[in-house]
Structure 1
Amino acid sequence: MKRRDFLAAGARATVAMAGTALWLPGAARAQDPRFVRPGVANGYANLLILVELKGGNDGLNTVVPFADPLYYRYRQTIGVPRAQAIQLDERTALHPALAPLMSIWRAHELAIVQGVSYPQPNLSHFRSIEIWDTASRSDQYLREGWLTRAFASAPVPGNFAADALVLGSAEMGPLSNGARAIALVNPAQFARVSRLVRPVSLKERNPALAHILDVENDIVHAADKLRPHPGNYALKTAFPAGAFGASIQTAMHALASADTPQGEPVPGCGVAAIRLTLNGFDTHQNQPQRHADLLRQFAAGMVAMRSALVELGRWDRALIVTYAEFGRRVRENQSRGTDHGTASAHFVAGGRVAGGLYGQPPELARLDGNGNLPVGVDFRQIYATVLGPWWGLDAQAVLQQRFEALPLLRA
């Protein structure tokens, strides 16, 4: 079997060593000049950072419709008190744990898109995140992630270390089945380990494993471009503690350490995309404190990312976008929590973001038969904004349907 045929057949193969999981279907692709398309480099110099709020974030307690009395009627014990909420306009406020985001909001670099979901939403964690990851219809099953299709349509240039860097998750998500991605399950371990050692004895016993290890070796060389090297710029930004903070710190140091094969520093050009995961948003029970802690981690992480990207001179060419499989039910449950719902609010931040409120505010008087909010913005409109205005790609070809981009970016 030829190497390229093996890579295609083993697109989902994984190698886990030293606490770090790595995937790279088509490992040599970005180094092959046939895949370097003129002009694409400028598009991918605009960095995308995806932040997955895993478990389904409660949009109503994140972006609070405090002026609607129905909000407090539906959420008598878990609703965010009006006196504590951070008011954005005459009817909308942020959860108090998101106070650190106000510096980005006041700089008009934070957009909040409300009412984000999709038609005929699915309330299964597994199926709904699959829909978000592949940008499919609810009745459609696609194999490749939406970023995988984007990078296939316009490959990332060969002087990038990889298509993308995945931190804090063993799942490839929007990069599944084809993207040349470096996945680091344990970011702290990655920062300590300089190289991975191939188990030669296993290779000798198993010819198929030899192919996988060759793929792994290609990834290690790509990942090595993202490791701190002597003489690289040392970030002064202080990063928050915890797993999410460690992921952000690793990602930002990777950007600071990225360089071309000639050794010339190119901050921000190590990868075209970064995917971060913050776990724990499936808040069926005792939501108030748990949710506040998660939002506090998220806000601290966003502020640290902004600081580091400004420090690197990359804030104007970085776009941070949140996503999750769904929102939460409007009415609180009997366990002081919320069950799986539909539409939610999402954040978009960056130096070229036209800050403000977008989308459809929660219409609590128009719930469906299951007590869920109507869809105001299809999530694929956010993807179309990334693909089109941000990267200059053919969004309709990647998404397999036309979606209007949102006016979230300044020229």
Structure 2
Amino acid sequence: MKKNTCNHKDHTLWSRRSFLQGLGLSGISSMLFANSTISFATNNQLTSAIENADSENILLIIKLFGGNDGLNMIVPVNQYDAYANNRPTIKIPKNNLLNLTDEYAIPDFMSSLDPMWKEGKMKVVHSVGYDNQSKSHFKGSDLWASAEIDSNIQETGWLGRYYDNIYTDYVLNPPESPVAIQIGSTRNITFDGEEHKYSYAVANISSLQNIAQTGKVYQSDNIPDCEYGDNVSFLRNTYNSSYNYAGKIHDAYNRSSDYTGGVGGYPASTPAYGKLGESLNIIARLIKGNLGTKIYMVTLSGFDTHATQFDTHQGLLTNISETISYFHEDLTDAGYGDKILTMAQSEFGRRVAENGSKGTDHGAAGPILFFGESLQGSGFVGEHADLNDLVAGNLKHHTDFRQVYSSILKNWMCVDASVVNATVLGSEYEDLNLGFACETETETEVPPVPPIPPNEGEGVPDSVVTFETYVSFEGDDTIITLQSNTTQHITVTLYDIKGQRLGVIENSILYAGVKKINVKQKNPSLAAGLYIFKAQSNYDAVSKKILIQ
């Protein structure tokens, strides 16, 4: 018999049911072990829409968290006197500038980007923002991630809403590969839908490295021999065997190798400037290994430069420039140069004037930088803000950030314009000329809403059939609630977490109104654990995770 390595009292405190309840697994798509949050995506709306779109293009989003100082990144030479007067100690001296044009320059410590500019692989969108811009890091990040500036609470992301409105039957039909991979800032809501997080998200690059090298999310050895350990082992093994894509990531990683060409290699990680080099190296390997993921997002912190900004910002921008340059060289050498677009953005810019601590405080508008062969020439897009025409010391924005999102979705990811306008952004925004366009201009036909059967559906608004499901608990019972505004036939089928069909637990007529199904009463032999149910009506199918206690 194995030695019991746990306190014997945990046998009275823990059961698998209470353990699952304590973790709150019902309706979530992430778990926390070893201080590392990992979320995983099953099939979703963006998956299907992007996979069905006529595009093999890949988008890399680099989030410069903390509020990047765009004025010391893209220096307005045509307004240099106003720039220098506002920044007596932190300005970039003229003799340390590399002119991109007669009007704008980059600091010489960003010289790694100069070849990309000269080769037509870089564009800058000036003065991007929105009305009444938030100067809070997290609120600002949520606003950019949600693209909803008129709401007090941001709960879904611009890509998450896209996922939510293509298909509802996503749990039981996962794609072969994750549609999005997110490194860092796992609280960011960009990929959050109404109920699910639609990205394979890791808190740090070390987690992704482990997955890529071993093919597992969590190790299942060295676990205490007791009931608590059994529960940990159960959850970890369940997670490793579910739709977490670890094996796919591992296979793609092993199908490729590190790039050894060029000069310098990926910049090494440092405590001060983060692990962008490691992150983009692994992303490049996954792309070269044909993983199939079309969106990657990496968060780089350190841009909240309230004090002694010059040296800190110089180190960050040097690291970014060298990493992006080498990343695109890597993928160009592998034949992916025209398929990858990189976008660097921040949640807000900095104030024009420096503060008393030789730094800058939270501001408003700032630039977004794009990199890639598909840009078809370097240049500047939009109007740069006037440094002498400020609002409370901040730059006015001239380009709405939702114009950027709209342009990317329609012209890079090749998503139908009607889906972008109605589903993702809730309005139509003027697209920017970023140099790329989808080859096909044929819009995807939106399927019509199924008609209501004759003599049914009285009182249904606008002849639209609604069918919704909810999960709740009544004591120890797990309840599925079905709600419909018309009479229709429904079936509810139960599956295990691997998607294996267990059987039908409801097959009946659902009248207009509400119907409750007690899952455990329908199948008393069910063990406590995580399952999936699929509710199929005349008009729709919905599948969700469910916890049996």
In the alignment, the residues of structure 2 paired with residue 373 and residue 38 of structure 1 have an alpha-carbon distance, to the nearest angstrom, of: 37
Higher RCO structure (Cα 8 Å, ≥6 apart): 1
Question: Which residue of 1 is the match for residue 336 of structure 2?
Answer: 314
| Partner residue of 1:161 out of 171, 177, 182 | 177
In the alignment, the residues of structure 1 paired with residue 400 and residue 152 of structure 2 have an alpha-carbon distance, to the nearest angstrom, of: 15
Amino acid of the structure 2 residue aligned with 1:99: S
Question: Which residue of 1 is the match for residue 116 of structure 2?
Answer: 104
Question: Which residue of 2 is the match for residue 62 of structure 1?
Answer: 73
Contact 1:52–1:276 under 8 Å retained in 2: yes
Call closer, same or farther: CA 1:212–1:189 in 2, change over 3 Å.
closer
Aligned-residue offset at 1:241 = 0.7
Question: Which residue of 2 is the match for residue 400 of structure 1?
Answer: 426
Question: Which residue of 2 is the match for residue 135 of structure 1?
Answer: 147
Contact 2:308–2:358 under 8 Å retained in 1: yes
Alignment deviations for residues 118-175 of structure 1 (CA, whole Å, 9 cap, x no partner): 1111111111111001111154433111111223344799554212111233334311
In the alignment, the residues of structure 1 paired with residue 434 and residue 51 of structure 2 have an alpha-carbon distance, to the nearest angstrom, of: 22
TM-score normalized by the length of structure 2: 0.65
Matched position secondary structure for 1:51? strand
Question: Which residue of 1 is the match for residue 355 of structure 2?
Answer: 333
Call closer, same or farther: CA 1:162–1:229 in 2, change over 3 Å.
closer
| Partner residue of 1:183 out of 195, 201, 204 | 201
Aligned-residue offset at 1:73 = 0.8
Superposition map of 1:9-408 within 5 A: 9-11=27-29, 13-17=30-34, 20-24=36-40, 27=42, 29=43, 37=48, 40-43=51-54, 45-68=56-79, 69-154=81-166, 159-177=175-193, 178-192=196-210, 193-194=213-214, 195=216, 196-198=218-220, 201-202=227-228, 205=231, 214-215=238-239, 217-220=241-244, 222-227=245-250, 232-237=255-260, 238-242=265-269, 243-257=275-289, 267=290, 269-354=291-376, 355-368=378-391, 370-393=392-415, 394-396=419-421, 397-408=423-434
Amino acid of the structure 1 residue aligned with 2:365: A
Q: Share of identical aligned residues, percent? A: 25
In the alignment, the residues of structure 1 paired with residue 26 and residue 55 of structure 2 have an alpha-carbon distance, to the nearest angstrom, of: 24
Amino acid of the structure 2 residue aligned with 1:320: T
What is the total number of aligned residue pairs between the two structures? Answer: 387
Aligned-residue offset at 1:218 = 2.4
- Higher relative strand content: 2
Aligned-residue offset at 1:282 = 0.3
- Higher relative helix content: 1
In the alignment, the residues of structure 2 paired with residue 24 and residue 230 of structure 1 have an alpha-carbon distance, to the nearest angstrom, of: 18
Q: CA RMSD in A?
A: 2.9
Alignment deviations for residues 206-247 of structure 1 (CA, whole Å, 9 cap, x no partner): 8xx967874564254x02211256961323243211111111
In the alignment, the residues of structure 1 paired with residue 47 and residue 369 of structure 2 have an alpha-carbon distance, to the nearest angstrom, of: 32
Higher Rg: 2
Call closer, same or farther: CA 1:38–1:367 in 2, change over 3 Å.
closer
Call closer, same or farther: CA 1:364–1:399 in 2, change over 3 Å.
same
Contact 1:117–1:376 under 8 Å retained in 2: yes
Call closer, same or farther: CA 1:314–1:72 in 2, change over 3 Å.
same
Aligned-residue offset at 1:42 = 4.6
In the alignment, the residues of structure 1 paired with residue 62 and residue 46 of structure 2 have an alpha-carbon distance, to the nearest angstrom, of: 28
Where structure 1 has 5 or more consecutive residues not aligned to the other structure, the ranges are 258-266
Where structure 2 has 5 or more consecutive residues not aligned to the other structure, the ranges are 1-16, 18-23, 270-274, 438-549
In the alignment, the residues of structure 2 paired with residue 254 and residue 39 of structure 1 have an alpha-carbon distance, to the nearest angstrom, of: 18
